Structure 1
Amino acid sequence: MNDFPISTLIIALLAMLAGVAFFSLAEISMMALNRYRLKHQAQQGHKGARLTQSLLARTDKLLAVILLGNTLMQTGAATLGTLIAQRAFGIHNDTAIGISTGLVAFALIIFSEATPKVIAATYPQPIAHVSSYILTPLLKLAAPAVWFINILVSGLMHLLHLKSVQHSHTTSIDPEELRIMVLESGHMIENKHRSILLNLFELENITVDDVMTPRHQMEAIDLEQPLDELHKEFATAHHTRIPVYEGNPDSILGIVHARKVLHLTQANEFSIEKMKEIAREPYFIPAGTPLFTQLQNFQQNKRRIGLVVDEYGEIQGLITIEDILEEIIGEFTTHAPGQLNSITRHEDGSLLAEGSCLLRDLNRKFGFSFPLEGPKTLNGLIIEHFEGLPETGTCMKINQHILEVISTQERTVKVVKLKL
């Protein structure tokens, strides 16, 4: 080294600092890279992305070559700093040597470590792609040293009963992580599309009880009526698939499609017996079934409508595949008159709602925070709160929301006033 002029040593020192900066850039950019975007770019034929993906597939070797290069460069920088101080101020000038060591350490921290790592974390994709062109041949040149390092690391990992990096690394994510990715997508995904994706994640947490049409609101037809009345009910029905029964509405005989009724009418074959023949056997769904599971069951059983029953076989309500689809993409069908849970907004901002309104709908559409673990409707929530039917005019506060009972009917709360 004594044969080289100081200027050459300074240039070599700067090269060493640049080398440390490069390995710092490469390490952070590779680790901070979006693996899914990288995979997409590689599939599109981007050469840098393919090289980067190949390096990340061997993470243990990648980290080994970065560590090896970084360590050699840092050691070389420290050595050159000492040599330059000795050549400039004398071999026995401990103060100069100490100052030079401090300056080299400062340069390493600021210019070769902190700043490059911040830059790499901010722009990981382009830096990783460029770095891959240099790291790929370096990995081949340093293969023996990398192999030796990995042998030692693997042995130590085995002693600690830990999996090596290449085995533990995976790009798979769980549903909650995917949900967070969708939430954090920002402008990358349109609001409507983001809403649909988030609703899909919620299907596993929502049950058929939450979206079914309650039993007392179901449109069903009694076959024991006179034929004229029966024909009139089918002609004015608001649905294409209608449950039918004989006398007892709790005992559904089947589901009749309005199109088949029309065919019978056109053929002058409309009769009770024919109605029973065309009625499809009812499809029963256990209460508490998650919506996602039920969507799959509808698909497997090739059904579009089902009756929700409790553990005793009592009918609780009715659910259709359209009800589930509306939970995903929002409402897109009209409701039959008399079945719509009417909600009226007053000038003072308060709401007048029927007791049969679903709590989930109120939370979603108006920003309320009613509990969803117990009762599903306003009526059920109020009755549970008072452990009985309250009198008209009774006020209460539930989850910081003020409710007033406007009217009751028989054993239910009919109309409620809510203050936002």
Structure 2
Amino acid sequence: MDSVSTTSLIIILVVMVLVSAWFAGSETGMMTLNRYKLRHHAKQGNRAAKRVEKLLKRPDLLISLVLIGNNLVNILASSLATIVGMRLYGNAGVAIATGVLTFVVLIFAEVLPKTIAALYPEKVAYPSSLLLGPIQTIMLPIVWLLNTITRFLMRLVGIKTETSMSSALSKEELRTIVYESRNLMSRRNQDMLLSVLDLEKVTVDDIMIPRNEIVGINVNDEWKTLIRQLTHSPHGRIVLYRDTLEDCVGMLRVREAWRIMNDKREFTKENLLRAADEIYFIPEGTALNQQLVKFQRNKKKTGLVIDEYGDIKGLVTIEDILEEIVGDFTTSMSPSLAEEVMPQNDGSVLIDGSANVREINKAFNWNLPEDGARTINGMLLEFLEEIPETNTNVKLGDFAIDILDVQDNMVKQVRVVPNKPLKQS
């Protein structure tokens, strides 16, 4: 070492610091890469992404390689710095070299490269993979030996070494990613993705048309009544029943009924019943994601929701499920939430008794109880356990509710005053 000039040693020392910075930056860049973005680039044929993905399949080997290289370089740099310090300042040079090298390594070989790599992981990791791949192949025996010793020591202290890293996301983690992607996608697309994730939490009971609102035709009615109902029907499918909805006999497509009506000879009750499809029944409590698959599998678009006793509770269509994902269609015959809810200047909200509790909670970020009844009217009747009178005041959780109108044993309109300021989503 005495034959090597001091200038050469300083140059070698600078090179060692740069190599140490490269190892440190490469490790941080590799570990902070977005794995899903990396996988996307790799599937698109990006060679650098494929190299990095191959290295990250065994992160333990990669980390061992980086640590071996980094420590070797740092130890060599420390030795060279000691020699340079002693040549320049004698015995005091040891302390001076230690202090200066510590400062240089911390700034230029640790903090600076790792910060840059954390900010721009792709720009650091992709080029670094060109060298890390061959180096890993060359040093594989040493890396393997180091890993073997490490695993043996871990087993001695009872730490499991067979655990595998999984990149799979839970639904809640995926929901968080969608929330954080607000700047990368439109609010509408974000709401649609979140609605898809929520399908398993929502049941057919939450979106069904209640029994008292189901449009049906009593086949025992007179011909004039049947024709008038078919002609003026706003729906594409109508339930056919005999006298009561419990005795339903089929689901008639109005378009098929019009075809029969065009031929007066074929227009008989028997032909109407023959043209009707078989009723498709849906058990109450079925999750929307399951029902969507069942509609597709059974090639159905409409079904009647029944309870455990076989009684009809409501009607669900595939359009209702799609509306839960993409929002209300303009062709919907039901009143929209905007028509049923009227925010007031004083912070209160006038709400129709038929409004859906769940939709109101989503619109205003409220927490009105959804476990039982699905409408405001049903929620209040369930809470009070009696039919209230007009001008009754109710305290329900964080909400003060004034019942403004009661007719036909139903709450028609209420005023809701939340404790917290109104915040529409």
TM-score of the superposition, structure 1-length normalised?
Answer: 0.92
1:7 equivalent in alignment to 2:4:
no
CA distance in 1, matches of 2:252, 2:75: 84
SS at match of 2:279: coil
SS at match of 1:76: helix
CA distance in 2, matches of 1:344, 1:201: 26
SS at match of 1:250: strand
Q: Deviations over 1:163-208 (max 9, x none)?
A: 35xx612332222222211211233222222221111001011111
Trace 1:232-381 onto structure 2 (pairs within 5 A).
232-268=228-264, 269-336=266-333, 342-343=339-340, 345=342, 348=345, 350-381=348-379
SS at match of 2:246: coil
Q: 1:64 aligns to what?
A: 64
Deviation at 1:30, TM superposition (A): 0.3
Q: 1:386 aligns to what?
A: 384
Instruction: Tell which deviates more after alignment, 123-132 or 31-40.
Output: 31-40
Conserved? CA contact 1:389–1:412, under 8 Å: yes
1:212 equivalent in alignment to 2:208:
yes
Conserved? CA contact 1:29–1:125, under 8 Å: yes
Pick one of 123, 127, 133 that aligns with 1:136: 133
Conserved? CA contact 2:344–2:350, under 8 Å: no
Deviation at 1:292, TM superposition (A): 0.5
Conserved? CA contact 1:260–1:278, under 8 Å: yes
Deviation at 1:347, TM superposition (A): 5.7
1:43 equivalent in alignment to 2:39:
no
Specify whether residues 157 and 302 from structure 1 end up closer, same or farther in structure 2 by C-alpha distance, changes over 3 A only.
farther
Specify whether residues 180 and 344 from structure 1 end up closer, same or farther in structure 2 by C-alpha distance, changes over 3 A only.
closer
Specify whether residues 85 and 340 from structure 1 end up closer, same or farther in structure 2 by C-alpha distance, changes over 3 A only.
closer
Instruction: Tell which deviates more after alignment, 59-68 or 271-280.
Output: 271-280
CA distance in 2, matches of 1:219, 1:18: 78
Conserved? CA contact 1:227–1:271, under 8 Å: no
Deviation at 1:150, TM superposition (A): 2.5
Deviation at 1:295, TM superposition (A): 0.3
SS at match of 1:202: helix
Q: 2:412 aligns to what?
A: 414
% of aligned pairs identical? 37
Specify whether residues 346 and 79 from structure 1 end up closer, same or farther in structure 2 by C-alpha distance, changes over 3 A only.
closer
Specify whether residues 60 and 392 from structure 1 end up closer, same or farther in structure 2 by C-alpha distance, changes over 3 A only.
same
Deviation at 1:57, TM superposition (A): 2.0
Code of the aligned partner of 1:267:
D
SS at match of 1:316: strand
SS at match of 2:244: coil
Q: 1:396 aligns to what?
A: 394
CA distance in 1, matches of 2:366, 2:41: 43
Conserved? CA contact 1:343–1:351, under 8 Å: no
1:198 equivalent in alignment to 2:194:
yes
CA distance in 2, matches of 1:391, 1:369: 25
Conserved? CA contact 2:218–2:243, under 8 Å: yes
Pick one of 86, 106, 117 that aligns with 2:114: 117
Trace 1:63-102 onto structure 2 (pairs within 5 A).
63-90=63-90, 93=91, 95-102=92-99
SS at match of 1:108: helix
Conserved? CA contact 1:306–1:319, under 8 Å: yes
Deviation at 1:88, TM superposition (A): 2.0
CA distance in 2, matches of 1:89, 1:381: 86
CA distance in 2, matches of 1:49, 1:188: 22
CA distance in 2, matches of 1:113, 1:276: 80
Query: Where does structure 1 lack aligned partners over 5 or more consecutive residues?
Result: none
Deviation at 1:275, TM superposition (A): 2.3
Conserved? CA contact 2:87–2:93, under 8 Å: no
Conserved? CA contact 1:307–1:315, under 8 Å: yes
SS at match of 1:249: strand
Conserved? CA contact 1:223–1:230, under 8 Å: yes
Conserved? CA contact 2:203–2:286, under 8 Å: yes
Conserved? CA contact 1:343–1:354, under 8 Å: yes
Code of the aligned partner of 1:11:
I
Specify whether residues 180 and 347 from structure 1 end up closer, same or farther in structure 2 by C-alpha distance, changes over 3 A only.
closer
Instruction: Tell which deviates more after alignment, 317-326 or 16-25.
Output: 16-25
Conserved? CA contact 1:406–1:415, under 8 Å: yes
Deviation at 1:363, TM superposition (A): 2.0
Conserved? CA contact 2:341–2:352, under 8 Å: no
1:155 equivalent in alignment to 2:152:
yes
SS at match of 1:188: coil
Specify whether residues 323 and 237 from structure 1 end up closer, same or farther in structure 2 by C-alpha distance, changes over 3 A only.
same
Q: 1:181 aligns to what?
A: 177
Aligned length: 414
Deviation at 1:317, TM superposition (A): 0.7
The RMSD of aligned alpha carbons is 2.1
Code of the aligned partner of 1:26:
S
Deviation at 1:276, TM superposition (A): 2.1
CA distance in 2, matches of 1:263, 1:286: 33
TM-score of the superposition, structure 2-length normalised?
Answer: 0.91
